[in-house]
Each structure stands twice: as structure tokens, then as C-alpha cells.
A and B are shown apart, each in its own frame.
Chain A
């Protein structure tokens, strides 16, 4: 009998954990993005047409063609292209106080990325406003290395 199976008064029990117990590689393109995040930088990738995708992707979403191998530094600041307000954050979300979700087009990028903006209240949010990332002190190469964005100049 396996060590995991226990006899509890004649009833056999065994643990069941719902999980995907394997590791994934993020590949050569997102890998560059996450490595840069760990170093406190933001990078995008150029498509064959010269557009800069942030977050980078392996293929140009417009044409399906493979992207070039040209990575460029972007940001760190950017512009909010649209936003919504979360008055009651869920436990797993980036901030534990009311915040905005925003699509942010970083300086030098042609696409926008999603992140949280710590603005305090919705009256301080506006499409077109400038925001900058707030980095975590300890970074591991994950989208959460950016704790959130905040209004520029704070």
C-alpha cells in the first residue's frame, strides 16, 4: 500500500491535489521580456513592419509573420489608453486597495500592456494620463515584478 493511503477505521483515504505539476519555458521572446523585468527594464520586439510589440510576442498579430530579432528598450513611462475602476479588489489582484486597471502604451511601443494603476480614487484617472512603473525591490522575472503603475510625478 502506498505511503499516501491511510486506513481510517476501515475507510481508505488518499490526498487529491488538483494541479498541473509541470514547468513551462516561456521561450526566446517572452523570456527576453521577463529577464528585462528582473533587471528593472522594459523591452519590446519589432515586427517585420517595424512596429514595436509590448508585451512582445513571437508572431505579428496583424500578419502572422515571425517577429524580427530586434528588441528595443521602451518606457519606463507610458500613456493610459483606457481604464476601469476596481472599488473592491479581489484577493489575488495586484493591490489590496481600490485601483484602476489600465491599458498602458509605453513610450516607444505601438501596443499597450495591462497593469494596475495605484491612483487612490477614480477622479485621478484619465485616458491619456502618463504613468510610470513602481518596481518591486526583489524581482524574479515575472509580470508581478512591476508592483503596479502610478501617476507620473508622484
Chain B
């Protein structure tokens, strides 16, 4: 395997409602990631993740190229997925030898629409989507199945929320942060029984960008590159009732393939847009109590649609750069109820 490292990362402020359009949100983020990388344009490869369904128009991602700069012509690709999968494509491109540097970015502006309803359009179009089950309701089905099987309580979920929001106090790009008492959180009403507001990621508008560089060139531009030592992604059936929603089989398999268990994990950034999903993911990844989970606050505190998974990888890389982690695990998810999952192992040496 060719050595590939993340050498820079930038993100937008994750505001609840951006007045800027997608290109305007993205452009300073891309410029910051490029400036921090120490790599001169053009990049050998550019890859992005976003969803036309958020913008409500076909091929909407093409406009976003204005932010990346596509003249003179550049080799470029796009995935209609979270940007974590764009990073995977860029990593594969570098493995093939066709690229040494890559710019990866992702963006999503969810505030103009009704995100839980928009997400219903990603479901099976015959037996699920015509019923318009919103994303929060589907997550609540998973939450109840998990709570009843595991013996965990709604208090355990509130504790995940309180810890995440406390961690996010040190994250200037968090949508939600602060000190919250579990008792007060539990006193709030359900929005989709058994889930409350704090169990669900806030809706926000955002963008993320980062730069990947291969081998010795990464060592030249970065003092302590965050090396991608393992990366894998797996998917489960689209029929919710054919899955065991209380476990994440695809995360466990991706973790095995990515080699999560080959060494101690200092930090894990998990893309869990709902509190119960963090608990399911901890089990699937085999993370012990000594692993620091989501020091950024995680997706429960900032969840830019199509970019939050890539942000987890960027946050994990940041812990490598600042020396607080020698080995970090980042996770990204896509689809309803953790249907598809990507696991990435980063190391500082």
C-alpha cells in the first residue's frame, strides 16, 4: 500500500441558517485547506461529496466547482454521498499511482428544506419512500429496539448528549455546545418517542475541505502527517426490517478490514447523528472505556449533511497533528439507521 496522509483540514462555522449560498460557504473553506497544506494548485485529483436533493436541482454539485477552481481543466470526480466517501475515492486514486496530491471537499445546505423529510427520498422507492417516514422517526425505531434489547435507558442517551455538548465547548465550529444537566434534558418532551431534541443532531449548513498527500511529499509539507493506515466501508440491506438494527454489522466488518484492533486507540470521532447510535458504534468498533470519543462534540453538536462524516476524519487528523493522539479512529455513516459505514484508522508515525 502506498502511504497517504491528511495534511490539512478546514471547515465552515456550521451555522443553523447560512445566508450565503453553497459556493460562498465552500470557497473560504477550500482556500483555507489549500493554504494550510503547503501544496500549490493544481492538485492531481479533486473529489467532492454532496447531494442534489438538498439543493433540489440536478447536477447541483457542478456549481460548487467554482469554489475549487476548475480552470484550466482539472481531473475531478463527485460522489452523491458524504465527503468521507470522496476521501475514499481520492485515496484509491492515489493508490493507483495516478495522483500524488488530492483536494477533497464536501458541503450541504439543509436549512432551506425540511431535512428529515428530504432524507425520506433516499429510501426504497416502492415500499418505504411512498409512506414518507422521516429520518428522525426511523432513528427512533432503531433507538427503541436498541434500548429494549441492551437494557440501556433514555438517561444513558441523555448522558451521551450532555457529554458531547460539554466537549463541543472547545469547538468554535459547533452548532450546539454548553453545560446541560441530564435531569433537565430528561424533563423535555419526546419529539419522536423515545427520542428527544438532544438525542438528535442539529440541522445546520456547512462545508469541509482537506488535502491528501502521498509518501515523502507529505513529510515535506507537514510536520506530523496523519497517515491513513486503514480504510474500509461496508453496507447493509436497504430493507430496515431485514436488518438487526440493534447492532452495526457493517461497522464491525469495516473496522476489522481497516485494522482498528491492531493497536491501542487514543481518540475516536464517530459519526453518530443520534445518541443511541454512538453506543451501537462503540460496541461495533470494540472501543474500550479509555478511548476518548468525539472530543469535537461529534455530529450531535454539528452535523452538516454530506460533510459531517468527512469532518470526523478531519477532527481525528487534528488530534494527530496536535499530538493528543498517536492513533485515532474516524467513522462516517450514510443512509437510514447506520445503513452504510466507513472506518478510517489514522496514525501519527
Contact = CB atoms under 8 A, between A and B. Distances in A.
Interface in B102-120: 114, 117
Contacts of A33: 127
Interface string A28-59: 00100110000000000000000001110100
A129 to B, nearest CB: 13
B193 A122 contact: yes
B99 interface: no
Contacts of B142: 82
A92 B193 contact: no
Interface of A: 18, 24, 26, 30, 33-34, 53-55, 57, 61, 81-87, 90, 92-94, 101-105, 111-116, 122, 127, 142-144
Contact of A57 (B117, B239, B240): B239
A15 B251 CA distance: 46
A103 B76 CA distance: 42
A84 B241 contact: no
Interface stretch (B43-51, B80-88, B128-136): B128-136
30 contacts: A53-B242, A54-B241, A57-B237, A61-B236, A81-B145, A84-B137, A84-B143, A84-B192, A84-B193, A84-B195, A85-B140, A85-B190, A86-B192, A92-B117, A94-B131, A101-B133, A101-B140, A103-B240, A105-B241, A111-B242, A112-B240, A112-B241, A114-B127, A114-B141, A114-B241, A127-B144, A127-B148, A143-B131, A144-B130, A144-B131
A45 to B, nearest CB: 12
A101 B137 CA distance: 7
Nearest to B193: A85
B194 A84 contact: yes
A95 to B, nearest CB: 10
Given A85-B192, A85-B193, A103-B240, A142 B130 contact: yes
Given A85-B190, A101-B140, 12 more contacts: A57-B239, A57-B242, A61-B243, A81-B145, A84-B193, A87-B190, A90-B114, A90-B134, A93-B132, A104-B241, A112-B242, A127-B144
Nearest to B124: A55
A144 B127 CA distance: 9
User: Considering the complex of A and B, which 6 residue pairs feature the smallest CB-CB distances, nearest first?
Assistant: A112-B241, A84-B140, A61-B237, A85-B193, A82-B145, A92-B132
B239 A61 contact: yes
A82 B150 CA distance: 14
B138 interface: yes
Contact of B245 (A82, A142, A144): A82
B126 interface: yes
Contact of A113 (B57, B130, B241, B243): B241
A61 B255 CA distance: 21
B56 interface: yes
A47 B125 CA distance: 22
A99 B241 CA distance: 19
Of the candidates B114, B127, B140, B192, the one having the most CB atoms from chain A within 10 angstroms of its own CB is B127
B130 A143 contact: yes
Nearest to B132: A92
Nearest to A142: B130
Nearest to B194: A84
A120 to B, nearest CB: 14
A83 B237 contact: no
A114 B131 contact: yes
A55 B138 contact: no
Given A61-B239, A84-B140, A101-B137, A143 B127 contact: yes
A4 B4 CA distance: 54
